Amino acid sequence: MSSAPRSVWLHNPFRVGGKNRPVVCVMGKIKASAMLKSIAKKSLNPIYLRRAVRLHRNRKQLVRCKNDPQLKLYAQLFPSGFLHYGYFDNTAICPRDMSLNAITDAQLKYAEVLLEKVLDRRSEVLDVGCGMGGLVGMMLKRGWKPVALSPDAHQIDAIKELYPQTPTIQAKFEDIDVEEHRGRYGTVINAESLNYLHLEDALPLINQVLKPEGRWVICDFFRMDEAGDTSGHWEHFEQSVKEAGFYFSYKRDITPHILPTIAYAHMLGEEVGLPVIDFSLEKLRGKQPGLHYLLEESLDALLQKMKENLQIVNPVDFQKRKKYMLLVVERGTGETETAGIALDRKGHTPLSPDEEDKLNKMM
């Protein structure tokens, strides 16, 4: 008798020859010849080949943000409704001591730190790139008036279901109707969504949709290397903000507080992901050498691409090339409040004297 768990035998929906068999046994019957026939059929048949070429040529024309499967996966991994790095008070935490629950707690802390910069709590707050509605839910609990914007259909549908009382906008920020939103918002928030904006179009629009005393609250990473490509580059963004008639009323580098999440992702990739992939490729080489031979170059290229992507979340490399900033942008000119790391007794980012004064006037 097999040592497979009894539940596998009793509840396995796959039946072979009228008998329940473990899934692994059924899968073991799949022959490489069937896979090879499928590949050959689509490679040699002109109809399939033309379709493959057409799909490849049109790949960049697909609008990824309309229903992004990657964002949907993140939402399943982090059901809290947040899709950002999070904020860790303990910046020295070891990746091995972390868990998905720790990241969820850090994401909640991140949202709290961000919302402390919202001073006008009576006017509507536009959450640009709202994710799965984590910030929206927190604002509703505080009695605020959030408006959720995302070009992703899956995200907007989720927010409509969770928070039907919340206005939603399924569009890119740059595509919204200016007249409909002119002077409507006391605050516009970009939490890890700034780099999706086309800055030349977004800056004038920010100016138009904010109320006279409105604030633009930003939390995102910026590149610090030489500005060959200006997208996401700190110096380019800083200069563009000033040229558009804004100034930074608040700046804070919170890179150390988001690095634990990056270190955790890097550890999982290095110590779990790559070893599992290497093992799987070796099994394929041993069990299906013919199929492995046909796919070898593609598999090697895929593995190399994964290693390159893993380097993006190398915490040492990230800290050298990027910094993660919490920013408040306002109209006009003024002095910038550059915050240190110290928090108040409740663990919150302390407001500057100017922010305290503005908040008191709005209450």
The answer to whether residue 76 scores a pLDDT higher than 90 is no
The answer to whether residue 103 scores a pLDDT higher than 80 is yes
The domain boundary, picked from 59, 75, 103, lies at 59
The answer to whether residue 17 scores a pLDDT higher than 60 is no
Domain that residue 134 falls in? 63-363
The domain boundary, picked from 14, 37, 59, lies at 59
The answer to whether residue 79 scores a pLDDT higher than 50 is yes
The pLDDT, as a whole number, for residue 281 is: 87
Note the pLDDT tens digit of each residue in 196-209. Answer: 999 999 999 999 99
Q: Note whether 233 and 325 are same-domain residues.
A: yes
Q: Note whether 350 and 299 are same-domain residues.
A: yes
Q: Note whether 35 and 101 are same-domain residues.
A: no
pTM of the model: 0.72
Q: Note whether 217 and 359 are same-domain residues.
A: yes
- Residues whose CB is less than 8 angstroms from the CB of residue 209 and which lie 6 or more positions away in sequence, other chains included: 126, 176, 178, 181, 182, 183, 184, 185, 188
36 phi and psi angles, rounded to 5 deg: -65, -40
The domain boundary, picked from 18, 38, 59, lies at 59
Q: Note whether 275 and 331 are same-domain residues.
A: yes
The pLDDT, as a whole number, for residue 296 is: 87
Q: Note whether 292 and 236 are same-domain residues.
A: yes
In a domain, 195, yes or no: yes
In a domain, 1, yes or no: no
Q: For residues 29-42, give the mean pLDDT.
A: 56
Question: Whose CA is closest to 164, among 180, 146, 182?
Answer: 146
Q: Note whether 36 and 104 are same-domain residues.
A: no
Q: For residues 340-350, give the mean pLDDT.
A: 40
The answer to whether residue 29 scores a pLDDT higher than 60 is no
Tokens of 232: 């996401």
Strands (E), 140-240: 145-150, 168-170, 185-191, 210-223
User: CA-CA distance, 111 to 85, in Å (whole number)?
Assistant: 10
Note the pLDDT tens digit of each residue in 216-262. Answer: 999 999 998 775 566 789 999 999 999 999 999 999 999 999 999 99
Lowest-confidence segment of 125-134, 172-181, 302-311, 341-350 by average pLDDT: 341-350
Q: Note whether 25 and 150 are same-domain residues.
A: no
Q: Regarding beta strands 124-128 and 145-150, do their DSSP bridges make them parallel or antiparallel, or are they unpaired?
A: parallel
Q: Note whether 84 and 166 are same-domain residues.
A: yes
Confidence bin at 30 (pLDDT 50/70/90)? very low
Question: Whose CA is closest to 327, among 117, 131, 144, 186?
Answer: 117
The answer to whether residue 352 scores a pLDDT higher than 60 is no
Taking the CA atoms of 207, 213, 219 and 224 in sequence, report the sign of the dihedral they define.
positive
Q: Note whether 249 and 235 are same-domain residues.
A: yes
What's the domain count of the chain?
2
Q: Tokens 């700046």 — which residue?
A: 251
In a domain, 271, yes or no: yes
Q: Note whether 298 and 167 are same-domain residues.
A: yes
Q: Note whether 142 and 17 are same-domain residues.
A: no
The whole-angstrom distance between residue 274's C-alpha and the CA centroid of its chain comes to: 22
